Amino acid sequence: MTLKVLIVDDEPPARERLKSLLSEIPDTEVVGEAVNGQQSLDRTHELVPDVVLLDVRMPGMDGIEVARHLNALDEPPAVIFTTAFDEYAVNAFEAHAVGYLLKPIRKEKLAAALVRASRLTRPQLQKVAAAASNGKRRTHIAARRREGLRLIPVEDVQFFLAEQKYTTVRHVSGEDLIEDSLRSLEEELGDDFVRIHRNALVSVRYLERIERSDDGQYFVRLRGCAAPLQVSRRMAGELRDRFRI
């Protein structure tokens, strides 16, 4: 059975080299290439590769974040990271038994890694992300759509609203459903977002003003959102303190 491989790297010579190495390894087939995060999600959805060779350092979104989003797919591919030099990442890969290859990659090592390649588990990825990105957080939120996964830049997000099973993310170009819990989002996105209610986390970037209705209820208005969002009594005090209103 032939192993279908997707190559993800922003540098053309690096992709060329992997293609040429893979052409010499039997029972493998390069089904496609991608140069950034969104493209690799699209190609994965479309081509369903068995293995993704994923560069750690890429502009826009790094490989570790791409892997986390890939993992949200229904049938996530196996991931092997590639890197030229990245101490933090390599230490994290070692510690959590995640497959990786050092550039310039040797053919034997590539062949061996492909044989061993396995799907990453969610906890594995979270630990690697925490260790390797050195406190850096995700730059995008992955939303599941019919045509595949859509990446929403965190800076475009106006607010998150917790519903029964899913979380709704409202952003400048619409609304999507995501699987992350409000609590984990708040923990990760920390300073740029503020909890205004048990079920609502809003972006400080879009916060326009805080209003008080006649019956003493507080609301916030966000730039680009028509409807005001209710602030819970408990959070109103904190919000006032934080923004000195």
Partner 1 sequence: MKTDAAGAGRSIYLPDFCTSRASLVVILIVELTALVLTLARQNASIDFWGELARTSFFLLWIGLAAAGLLCLVHENLTKLNVTQGSAVVFALIAAVISIVSAFAIYVGRTEVVNNLGVAELFPHDAGPFVLRNVLIGLIITALALRYFFVTHEWRRNVEMRAAARVHALQARIRPHFLFNSMNTIASLTRTNPVLAEQAVQDLADLFRANLNEKRNILLLQEEVEVAHIYQRIEQLRLGERLRVDWKIDALPNDALVPGLMLQPLLENAIYHGIEPRPEGGTVTVTGEIANGLITIVVRNPVGESTSERGGNQLALANIRERLTLMYEESALVKSGRFDAEYIVTLRFPYVEKRERLVT
- Sites of contact with partner 1 (CB under 8 A): 10-14, 16-17, 20, 35-36, 59-60, 84-86, 102-105, 139, 154-155
Cβ 62 to partner 1 shortest distance, Å:
10
Cβ 212 to partner 1 shortest distance, Å:
33
Cβ 5 to partner 1 shortest distance, Å:
17
Closer residue to partner 1 in complex, CB, 84/112 = 84
Closer residue to partner 1 in complex, CB, 84/204 = 84
Closer residue to partner 1 in complex, CB, 37/49 = 37
Closer residue to partner 1 in complex, CB, 13/216 = 13
Cβ 14 to partner 1 shortest distance, Å:
6
Sequential DSSP letters for the chain? -PEEEEEE-S-HHHHHHHHHHHTTSTTEEEEEEESSHHHHHHHHHHH--SEEEEES--SSS-HHHHHHHHTTSSSPPEEEEEESS-HHHHHHHHHTT--EEESSPPHHHHHHHHHH--PPPHHHHHHHHHHHTTT---SEEEEEETTEEEEEEGGGEEEEEE-SSSEEEEETTEEEEE---HHHHHHHHGGGEEEEETTEEEEGGGEEEEEE-TTS-EEEEETT-SS-EEE-HHHHHHHHHHHT-
Cβ 198 to partner 1 shortest distance, Å:
28
Closer residue to partner 1 in complex, CB, 86/180 = 86
